[in-house]
Each structure stands twice: as C-alpha cells, then as structure tokens.
Amino acid sequence: MIQRGIILPALFALLFVVLIAAYGAVFVILPIPRIFKLIIAVAVGAIAAAMAYVVIQRNREIREEGKDDLSKY
C-alpha cells in the first residue's frame, strides 16, 4: 500500500504538469509579443516546480507515517 501511496500522487502531478505545459504551449504558437510568452513560460515553470515540491513533501509524509493517511477515513 505504501508504494501505491507514493506512486499515485506522482502520477497525478505528472498529469497536471503535462496539461499545464500543453496549455502553455498554445500560447507559444499564438502570435503574441515575446514578453507575454516569457511570462507564461515562467508561470508554467513555477507551477511545475510547486507540483514537484508538493509531491516530494507528500512522499515524505507517507514514508514517515508508514501508510497513507487517506486510509484512516
């Protein structure tokens, strides 16, 4: 159960980052000024970094508890 508790948040985060990157890629294709493209790229990068941080923190919590806390409910 621990492995599943570690893998599922990582898969969710990966899916989320892929969707956000795809959304950001649409703006790269559109004919808008480069500064806006840069701002969007920075925002997508920040979201990806935040998701990575959350997944790392969640995996630490799962390892410390020994089991997924969602099973308590």
User: Per the domain annotation, does 17 fall within a domain?
Assistant: yes
pLDDT at 73: 46
Please give the model's pTM, rounded to 2 decimal places.
0.69
Q: How many residues are there in the chain?
A: 73
For residue 28, give both structure tokens.
């790269």
- Whole-angstrom distance, CA of residue 5 vs CA of residue 59: 8
Query: What's the structural domain count of the chain?
Result: 1
Q: What is the mean pLDDT of each run of 10 residues along the chain (73 residues)?
A: 70 86 84 90 88 87 67 54
User: Per the domain annotation, does 15 fall within a domain?
Assistant: yes
How many other C-beta atoms are found inside a 10 Å radius of the C-beta of residue 5? 20
pLDDT at 53: 92
User: Per the domain annotation, does 42 fall within a domain?
Assistant: yes
Domain that holds residue 39: 2-67
